[in-house]
Chains A and B, each alone.
Chain A
Amino acid sequence: MSSADYKIKSYCHIRDGKVSKNGEVLFSDSSEEFSAFIKATYKHFETDYSKFFKMDNLSKLAFMGAEVLLRDTDEKNIALILSNRASSLDTDRKHQAAISKQSGAFASPAVFVYTLPNICMGEISIRHELYSENSFFIFAEFKPHLLSDYANDLLETEKANEVLCGWVDYDKGKYDAFLYVIAKKGLLPLDTGELTKLYRTK
C-alpha cells in the first residue's frame, strides 16, 4: 500500500473552549482558564483516570485529544507523532521558578519530570497500552507534510498500523490541539492541503 492510499480516519480539535471530533463540537465550556476548562472536559467525557490530575497542562491537553480519538478503538499498534512550538516551556518555567528562589529553593520531581515534551506521549501510551513508537518534533508551526512523510514510512515498513499525528501546543495560557489518526481506511484523503484546511477550521 503506498502513501497515496492512506486516509485520515478521524481528527479532533481542542481550542477556544471547544472540543470537537470530525468537525462536530462534542463539548464546549466557557471557563477562561485552561485548568478549569480541561477539568470540565475530563469530567464531561467521564474519563475516570486519577493520574490526570498529576499531569502538566501540555500532557492534559494531549491526553484529552487522544482520549477523544482513541477511546473506541481496539487498535494497539498506533504510533504517536506529535509536535508543537513551545515544547514543555510552560512547565520549564515552573521548574525554573522553583530553583531560582533566593532562599528555600526546592525542585519538585513531579514538576521536573514534565519538563520534556515527549512525556505527554508517555501518558497516552500508558493510558491506551500502546507499546508503539513515539516521536516529538518542535516546529514554528504545524507542518503536515513532514508528519505525513514520517507517518508514511512507519505504515509502509509496517512499524505501525495507524499513526496518531498532530499539533499540541500549550504556552502562556493559550492552548491549541489538532490531532488526527492516519490509517488505511478513513474519511478523508491524506494530503497536506486537506490537513492544513482541517487544522485551520474554527
Chain B
Amino acid sequence: MPPREGTYGLLAEFDTPGDLIRAARQARQDGWRRLDCYSPYPLEEAAEAIGFHRNKVPLITLIGGLMGGLAMFSLETWISTLAFPINVAGRPTYSWTAFIVPAYEWTILWAGLSAAWGMLALCGLPELYHPLFNAPNFRDGATTDKFFLCLEALDPKFDLLQSKAYLEGFQPVSVVEVEY
C-alpha cells in the first residue's frame, strides 16, 4: 500500500500535447517508472511514451463473450432436451440451429459487459478520491484543455527538490507539489 501522507508527486502542466509527449518520453528515458500523463482526450502517443503499450481489455472481453455464449447455449440445450422437452411436430429436441440466436446475443451481451467492467476494473475505477484532485490547476485543466505529467513520489529516483528542478527543465507552465 502506498503511504497515505506526505507528497504524492510533482505535477507539471503543459499547454500542448507535443510538449507533454516530449517531456514524458525524456523522463521515461532517464529512468523514471512511476510516472503518468493526463490529457483531456485520448493521447495514444503519450501512453506509448511512458511505456504503456498493451492492455488486457481485449482478453477480458474475449473470455466474457465466450462464457456468455457457452452459458446460454448450454442452458438452451439443457432446457430443451432434459428439463422441459417439447415435441413440436416431431422436430428434434436438440434443435441447435435455433439455439444459436440467443447464444449469439449473450455472447455480445457478456463480451460488452466484460469490456466495460474490465476497463473500469483495470483502471481502478470507481475511485472517487485521488490526490491529484487536490491540485487546483489539475481540476481546472485536466478535463478541459491542459496536459499534465506527474512524477510520483514512489519512484526511487524521486527527490522533491531535484525532481522539481528536473521538471522545470522541460519548461512547463507550472510545477506543483501534490499532497495526499
Report whether chain A binds chain B. no
Residues of A within 8 A of B (CB): none
Q: What is B's interface to A at a CB cutoff of 8 Å?
A: none
